[in-house]
Structure 1
Amino acid sequence: MTRRATLRTTHDDPDIVAAALGPDNTESMHTTIEGDELVTTIERDSTGGLQSTVDDYVVNVTVAQTVIAATRTHTTTNHE
């Protein structure tokens, strides 16, 4: 039986976050953008595999959002 999790995260620029996550996504992941939300569905054959993939995805979202925020801060600080 397939296990499935759908994660919804809200971002100022979900297109940028989706692009940052793209290289790390696997065939078991499908991401769409709905307004300001990034919606990712993950399907795995085992609960353990699903948990590992969800954990990795959450870390990747956090890193992407942190890098995007740092880039904006750096860009804003250097151009004012």
Structure 2
Amino acid sequence: MRRATVRTEHERPQLIAAALRPDNTDEMQSEVEGDTVVTHIERETTGGLQSTVDDYVVNVDVADRVVQHAYRHNKSKP
């Protein structure tokens, strides 16, 4: 079994974790620790682990951008 842990810091980690949850597979577990989303990933092969981590990192980036954009947009409303 191959394993990786990805830690990413965010201003609103609960929102990021919630946005990522639908894309998580059975081999992934995420939790929030302070301002950090911690995700543990297990896969049978190194290639599978690499693919899953790559996909996850892209999803984190998109989720973070969407949350930041939404927050800025809602903050500017009267």
TM-score normalized with structure 1 length:
0.93
Displacement, 1:47?
A: 0.4
Instruction: Provide the secondary structure at the position in 1 that maps to 2:77.
Output: helix
Report matched runs for 1:23-62 at 5 Å: 23-62=22-61
State the shift of 1:36 in Å.
0.8
Root mean square deviation of aligned Cα = 0.7
SS of the residue corresponding to residue 12 of structure 1 reads coil
Percent identity reads 56
SS in structure 2 opposite 1:54?
A: helix
1:72 aligns to what?
71
Unaligned residue ranges in structure 2 (runs of 5+): none
Q: Which has the larger radius of gyration?
A: 1
Tell me, in whole angstroms, the C-alpha distance in 2 between the residues paired with 1:29 and 1:38: 12
Q: Kindly tell me the number of residue pairs found equivalent between the two proteins.
A: 78
How far does residue 73 in structure 1 lie from its aligned partner after superposition?
1.4
1:16 partnered with 2:6: no
Tell me the CA shift for residue 64 of structure 1: 0.3
Q: SS where residue 75 of structure 1 aligns?
A: helix
Q: Give 1:78 deviation, angstroms.
A: 2.5
Q: Give CA deviations for 1:40-59 in whole Å, capped at 9, x if unaligned.
A: 00000000000000000000
